[in-house]
Amino acid sequence: MLTRKQLELLEFIQKRMMKDGVPPSFDEMKDALDLRSKSGIHRLITALEERGFIRRLAHRARAIEIVKLPEALEKKFGAPAGDSAGSFAPQVIEGDKTDPPRGAMPVDVIHALELPVMGRIAAGVPIEAISEVSHHVAVPGSMLSGRGEHYALEVKGDSMIEAGINDGDVVVIREQGTADNGDIVVALVEGHEATLKRFYRRSGMIALEAANPAYETRLLRDDQVKVQGRLVGLIRSY
């Protein structure tokens, strides 16, 4: 059973797909449903995914596959031609095919260096800090900015997606214990939770800010947060 808003969103996406061949952007969905922020759309999308009506495509920003329609919408729109399985072909929401991140470069194996991948880092709900090497990855030497040790982490979650960091990406981190406002850092929270977020100092507190409106900014005391490194590079596999 879908709520009225969930049904409205699914119908709006289907109408746009039939008209343009791709779903609407999150901003268009927000305006169509008269919501104040995109966080409401994120919640509706998550609910539709949990109920099996849509599927979000991994490692791709804002991409959706419609799996099925409720009976009321199937009668209204009908099933797609040639779809014997009853599901829809994958469609990419506007904004998925973005330009490469600024400073993107090919990995030159001649000048590449191997870094240890220290497990996974949460870009979402914090997970337990990980300190064991899972494998190694080759990165271009020019990506290793400044002095000091570097390591890599595999990203888990989508809280930094609007900063161009997707689930499954590998981030390159330079070890350091300080950060400037706006830096994307690996933060250790209360000694046991590790997360990847933007760092800010606000009125004597530390703010760990996501790059996804579906996640709230966490405000913590200075003694609750320990910076373990700053983001200096990103590696993505397609």
Q: How confident is the model at residue 207 (pLDDT cuts 50, 70, 90)?
A: very high
Distances (CA, A) of 148 to 55, 114, 170, 175: 41, 15, 19, 6
- Residue whose entry in the numeric block shows the structure tokens 């800090």: 129
Distances (CA, A) of 6 to 19, 40, 47, 78, 147: 20, 11, 8, 19, 51
Four-CA torsion 139, 143, 149, 153, nearest 10 degrees: -60
Strand, coil or helix: 4 = helix
Query: Per the residue annotation, which of 68, 197, 203, 237 is the catalytic one?
Result: 197
Parallel/antiparallel/unpaired status of strands 205-209 and 193-202: antiparallel
Q: Are 153 and 188 in contact (CB under 8 A)?
A: no
**176-193: pLDDT as tens digits:** 899 999 999 999 888 878
Q: Where are the domains of the chain?
A: 4-92, 112-235
Residue 134 known to be catalytic: no
Parallel/antiparallel/unpaired status of strands 225-235 and 170-174: antiparallel
Q: Which of 141-150, 187-196, 224-233 has the highest mean pLDDT?
A: 224-233
Q: What is the mean pLDDT of residues 22-31?
A: 81
> What pLDDT score does 183 carry?
95
Angle between helices 4-20 and 38-50 (to 10 degrees): 90
Q: What is the mean pLDDT of residues 160-169?
A: 88
Q: Looking at the domain 4-92, which fold is it?
A: Arc Repressor Mutant, subunit A (1.10.10)
**56-105: pLDDT as tens digits:** 765 455 567 788 888 777 777 765 433 433 444 444 443 444 455 565 55
Percent of the chain scoring above 90 in pLDDT: 15
Q: What is the mean pLDDT of residues 44-51?
A: 84
Paired residues of 186 in beta bridges: 196, 229
Query: Per the residue annotation, which of 19, 142, 159, 203 is the catalytic one?
Result: 159
Q: Superfamily assignment of 112-235 in CATH? A: Umud Fragment, subunit A (2.10.109.10)
Residue 30 known to be catalytic: no
Of 143-157, 202-216, 223-237, the range with the lowest mean pLDDT is: 143-157
pTM summary value:
0.51
Rounded Cα gap, residues 163 and 127, in angstroms: 20
Rounded Cα gap, residues 174 and 153, in angstroms: 11
> What pLDDT score does 83 carry?
44
Q: Which two tokens stand for residue 224?
A: 């609750």
> What pLDDT score does 89 carry?
42
